[in-house]
Amino acid sequence: MKQGMEHKGRVYLKPSTQPPPLRVAVTGAAGQICYSLLKRIAAGEMFGKETPVILQLLEIPNEKVQKALAGVAMELEDCAFPLLEEVHCTSQPEEAFKDAEWCLLVGSKPRGPGMERADLLKDNGHIFVTQGRAIDAVAAENCRIVVVGNPCNTNCMIAAAQARRLPPERFTAMVRLDQNRAASQLAKKACVPVDVIEQLAIFGNHSPSQFPDFSNATIFGIPVPEVIEDVAWLEETFIETVRKRGADIIAARGVSSALSAANAIIDHVKSLCTPGKTIHSMAVRSSGEYGFGEGLWAGMPVRTTAPGTYEIVTNFHHDAFAKSKLLITQEELESEREMVKDFISLN
Ligand code: NAD
Ligand code: LMR
């Protein structure tokens, strides 16, 4: 089919009138999250059905892993996605991040049964030093970075600390999986569809110390505590279920969440690309909001103001119970910062 022709109602545009492809770098591309993620990016579920993409896939320089990555690339090709212009596989961060407008940092070690995410800091922290530097050196001027690899808040802080060119607010970490988990639990308890739950924020760390804030959330615009009057369920069962969901999935599957994690990455980026009144949760750099130490990356409610740009929503009210929960997660983030202070001061 020649460019510019019409076929079955679809116009095949001349190259000059096509939107330029978006370069999306994804790390850990041969891993289990990416196996659920890449096909959805290529199908237009992240950046829309009009935006062609080039996938720049990074994996470790290990023969077996690179071979597996080549297999993933073959499968993507075999899907014949109209929006997928190119797949580039590499073990070199500078190649993977070159001119990338989005860098999705998934690649890192997941925890196993009995571990906490913070146990991964020693293994994973250095990855974000190398990658933060490479992104700052070669990524596109308007680049946005999303950190998924655990412990994602602190890894994001490490990556951002390496940057001199890109401002820290471009670096966000993912607590959207916690938000989605919390929304599902509330919807199930209240017997309502999940999409009538709004203003649901995850505060703090993507860890068992997080505070899934039911008190500011609404169901059909009504505060959750007025709809779900079971205070013990909200303050204990709900919070614990959300906090421990990652561990429960590891206990059940033997490996950590992947399908739901990939879905949350899609939601995180889509929300960040879609300006509007809707509040969503991301871990972003604190300037002292809600008592989080300045320079920590903490889950907070945000509103997207322009594609890729957001403001922190600062008017959530917290009672004594909520404040006591916030304190626990503030302290944990501070202790993680202390553990990685050498990585942060490297630059
Ligand atoms: P996985 O082990 O299946 O895949 C990880 C991949 O990353 C592997 O293929 C590995 O070779 C690759 N990798 C390791 N170091 C790398 C580097 N320096 N550069 C590029 N690639 C590298 O793990 P997974 O299940 O896909 O999980 C990936 C990470 O995401 C883990 O740290 C996990 O804990 C985290 N995670 C976060 C959330 C969240 O909500 N924030 C949710 C689920 C999983
Ligand atoms: C999750 O929340 O499912 C992930 O962070 C994986 C984990 O280690 O729990």
Q: Does ligand 1 lie within 6 Å of residue 110's CB atom?
A: yes
Percent of the chain residues past pLDDT 70, beyond the cut = 94
Lowest mean pLDDT across 112-116, 137-141, 190-194, 249-253: 112-116
What's the predicted TM-score (pTM) here? 0.95
Position 12 pLDDT exceeds 60: no
State whether 157 and 207 are in the same domain. Answer: no
Q: In this model, does residue 3 exceed pLDDT 60?
A: no
Token pair listed for 347: 């630059």
**pLDDT recorded at residue 114:** 87
What pLDDT, on a 0 to 100 scale, did the predictor assign at position 1? 45
CATH number for the domain harbouring residue 80: 3.40.50.720
Which helix or strand (DSSP H or E) is residue 321 part of? helix 320-339
SS3 labels along 168-222: HHHEEECCHHHHHHHHHHHHHHHCCCHHHEECCEEEECCCCCCEEECCCCEECCE
What average pLDDT score do residues 200-212 get? 98
Which ligand is in closest contact with the Cα of 31? 1
So what's the pLDDT on residue 111? 86
Last residue of a domain, one of 158, 173, 188: 173
Identify the three-state secondary structure at position 240.
helix
Q: What is the pLDDT of residue 119?
A: 86
Contacts of 194 (CB under 8 A, 6+ apart): 183, 184, 187
Same domain, 169 and 211: no
The domain tally of the chain equals 2
Same domain, 155 and 104: yes
Query: Residue of the nearest CA to atom 5 in ligand 2?
Result: 246
Give the tens place of pLDDT for each residue, 289-323: 999 999 999 999 999 999 999 999 999 999 999 99
Residues 165 and 26 in one domain: yes
Amino acid residing at 54 = I
User: CA-to-CA distance for 161 and 163, rounded, in angstroms?
Assistant: 6
- Do 159 and 137 contact (CB within 8 A), yes or no? no
The average pLDDT across 92-116 equals 95
Supply the mean pLDDT for the chain: 95
Domain presence at residue 147 = yes
Domain end marker among 173, 200, 220: 173
pLDDT for position 118: 82
User: Is 14 part of any domain?
Assistant: no
Q: How far is the CA of 221 from the centre of ligand 1 (A)?
A: 37
Report d(CA 138, CA 118) in Å as an integer: 29
Span from the CA of 33 to the centroid of ligand 1 (angstroms): 7
Task: Please check whether residues 193 and 257 belong to one and the same domain.
Answer: yes
Q: Which listed residue (7, 88, 126, 206) is catalytic? A: 206
Is residue 154 very low, low, confident or very high in pLDDT (cuts 50, 70, 90)? very high
Domain that holds residue 86: 20-173
Does 7 fall in a domain? no
Question: pLDDT, tens digit, for every residue of 239-271?
Answer: 999 999 999 999 999 999 999 999 999 999 999
Report how far residue 103's alpha carbon sits from residue 94's, in angstroms, rounded to the nearest whole number: 12
- Same domain, yes or no: 197 and 282: yes
208, pLDDT greater than 90: yes
* Residues shown for the chain: 347
Q: Above 80 in pLDDT, residue 16?
A: no
Q: Is 257 in the pocket of ligand 2 (CB under 6 A)?
A: yes
How far apart are the CA of 210 and the centre of ligand 1, in A?
21
Q: Does 7 participate in catalysis according to the annotation?
A: no
Exposed/middle/buried for 91, CB within 10 Å: 0-12, 13-18, 19+? middle
Last residue of a domain, one of 125, 153, 173: 173
Q: What CATH number should be reported for the domain holding residue 287?
A: 3.90.110.10
Atom 7 in ligand 2: residue holding the nearest Cα:
246
Angle at 205 between CA 309 and CA 256, to 5 degrees: 100
Which helix (H) or strand (E) segment is 35 a member of? helix 32-42
Q: Are residues 202 and 215 in the same domain?
A: yes
